[in-house]
Structure 1
């Protein structure tokens, strides 16, 4: 297994026990330092206190598991407002929100569509864009993320 998969397997039950979701795990080199970063979310979004709670719950557990042999910095973060949607829970949580659908290849001359997330089933994503439903095959989508709308 990889570091990120091993860490996720260890961390996920703890995070779920705190009524949050593990969204992603990164183990990357930033400059001369290694960083282990976990992205968490929950209904209503996460705040600094949530990140601290998860960090404290996992810190000793990660050290004891000895998954990572070299020194690293451990961070717990919100995935951000415009993060990609990946899991079934993501799509359920953000149904009705504005999203951006980025395609691998243009459809009707465009690789980017913005609309309200309507549905995800059977490998298809449906959004409502300008009062019209548009459905995309998931295999054609490079990324789908929440849209940030500035008023």
Structure 2
């Protein structure tokens, strides 16, 4: 998590300076190769050219600052309709929406939850799943993602 915080502090000013918001960052290490995935958002939407422009700017900063010592692939993307959720504020914005949540460790014998966000209580995401309500601490969530509703 410290690495993601370091990368966020480095990348956020670049993204916001270009007129976009930084939705979130995923840093995935796999042996000697890594992937740095940056999600950007804008009220008017995100296009391929936006992603390419941000990628060039972030890449230049990464070359100068060199926060990742191994080889890595830089990906810049829109969060999309099945957007990943990173913060309590993002979960709060999707109250009454269906989500999939994977925990870092088992809670009441399970790590995976699929249900509706009921709300936020302090630092917990409240989700209704399988006829029950669960309070999931934000720090225990490994991944969360909105399930798009096409109806």
Length-normalised TM-score, structure 1: 0.65
- 2:22 alignment partner in structure 1: 21
Instruction: Verify the 8 A CA contact 1:3 1:27 in the aligned structure 2.
Output: no
> Structure 1, residues 55-78: CA drift from partner, whole Å, max 9, x if none?
122121111113334544322233
2:8 alignment partner in structure 1: 8
Aligned to 1:90: 90
CA contact (8 A) 1:40 1:79 kept: yes
| Count of residues in Structure 1 that have an aligned counterpart in Structure 2 | 144
Instruction: Flag structure 1 segments of 5+ consecutive residues without an equivalent.
Output: none
In structure 2, the CA distance between the partners of 1:92 and 1:47, relative to structure 1 (3 Å rule), is farther
Shift of 1:46: 3.7
C-alpha spacing 1:92/1:48, structure 2 compared with 1 (3 Å): farther
- Write the mapping of 1:1-151 to structure 2, written as runs, cut at 5 A: 4-17=4-17, 18-29=19-30, 34-42=33-41, 46-79=46-79, 81-101=81-101, 104-106=106-108, 112-115=113-116, 117-127=117-127, 135-139=133-137, 144-149=144-149
Distance 2:4 2:115 in 1: 32
Residues 78 and 37 from structure 1, CA distance in 2 versus in 1: closer, same or farther, beyond 3 angstroms? farther
CA contact (8 A) 2:126 2:136 kept: no
**Secondary structure, counterpart of 1:51 in structure 2:** helix
User: CA separation in 2, counterparts of 1:70 and 1:100?
Assistant: 31
TM-score (normalizing by structure 2): 0.65
Q: Structure 1 residues 55, 92: closer, same or farther in 2, change over 3 A?
A: same
Secondary structure at the counterpart of residue 67 of structure 1: coil
Q: Distance in 2 between matches of 1:101 and 1:69?
A: 31
Which entry has the higher C-alpha Rg, 1 or 2?
1
Which structure 2 segments of 5+ residues have no match? none
